[in-house]
Amino acid sequence: MTTPADTSFDPHCTLCPRLAEFLAAGKQRYPQYHCAPVAPFGDPDARLLIVGLAPGFHGANATGRPFTGDYAGILLYETLYAFGLSTAPQSVAADDSLRLIGCRISNSVKCVPPANKPLPAEIATCNRYLAHELAGVKEGTVLLALGAIAHGAVLRALGLKQSAFAFAHGAEHTLPRNLTMVDSYHCSRYNTNTRRLTPDMFRTVVARAAQLARGSSD
């Protein structure tokens, strides 16, 4: 029997019927779009793993790269570039020249959900892929969770109790294997437009996560 911890990313996964149907309909309407599970992007041995929510329909679902073409990706990639974690401040296509440095980006749910809202069952089903990914990271890796769903997905993937680690913007959690999870509000259009998350707030959290990943707590 396949267990969450031994299931690697499947680019043809159709385990969630609602999401599979949504992808198929999207491909019919936009045949040039990726419209398939979106693989993690970046160095597999990176000490900083950023975990988002899910691909955006006209963003990562179109390009096939996490946060590429997404509104949320504008702030994310600009911030990563500012801290030396990316070779460019903007990502527009999966085959552009942008590369991540000591950093990797993944998502809690690998397929785009309708209205950007995955169902709890879909989050749970897709967690097997995040569990496999986290099982392979080095001790001391820093996990930057973008939003409460990503925070919960990381805990589920590691087999930890949700109640033991409360989500809060800027919170830091010590996890098994000397992993550290840093929480941030998601850099979504809604959060930035409502000023729940400002660019300065986001930069502060990313700077802290990068600092921890580089082995410094000064």
pTM, two decimals, is 0.94
- Report the alpha-carbon distance of residue 144 to residue 51 in Å, rounded: 6
**pLDDT at 79 (0 to 100):** 97
pLDDT in tens, 129-139: 999 999 999 99
Beta bridge partner(s), residue 114: none
Per-domain boundaries in the chain = 15-213
Inform me whether the pLDDT recorded for 7 exceeds 60: yes
Distance of CA 9 to the CA centre of its chain: 14
| pLDDT band, very low/low/confident/very high, at 70 (cuts 50, 70, 90) | confident
Per residue in 17-55, pLDDT tens?
999 999 999 999 999 999 999 999 999 899 999 999 999
**The tokens of 28 are what?**
């019919």
pLDDT band at 145; cut points 50, 70, 90:
very high
Neighbours of 125 (CB within 10 A): 17
Name the residue among 94, 111, 107 with its Cα closest to residue 36. 111
pLDDT of amino acid 4: 44
Q: What is the mean pLDDT of residues 164-168?
A: 97
Predicted confidence (pLDDT) at residue 140 exceeds the cutoff of 90: yes
**What pLDDT score was predicted for residue 34?**
98
3.40.470.10, 3.40.50.10420, 3.30.200.20, 3.30.420.40: CATH of 15-213: 3.40.470.10
pLDDT on residue 61: 97
Joined together, the tokens standing for residue 194 give 């409502």
- On the question of pLDDT at 81 being above 60, the answer is yes
Arithmetic mean of pLDDT, 200-218: 88
For residues 217 and 8, what is the distance between their CA atoms, to the nearest angstrom? 33
Give the model's pLDDT for residue 216: 47
Check residue 44 and give its pLDDT: 86
Q: Mean of the per-residue pLDDT values for the chain?
A: 94
- pLDDT of residue 166 exceeding 60: yes
pLDDT tens by residue, 180-197: 999 999 999 999 999 999
Mean pLDDT of 201-213: 98
Residue-by-residue DSSP string for the chain: ---GGG----TT---SHHHHHHHHHHHHH-TTS--SPPPPEE-TT-SEEEEES---TTTHHHHSSTTTT-HHHHHHHHHHHHTTSBSSS----TTSS--BSSEEEEESSSSPPGGG---HHHHHHHHHHHHHHHHTSPTT-EEEEESHHHHHHHHHHTT--GGGS---TT-EEEEGGGEEEEEE----HHHHHTTSS-HHHHHHHHHHHHHHHTT---
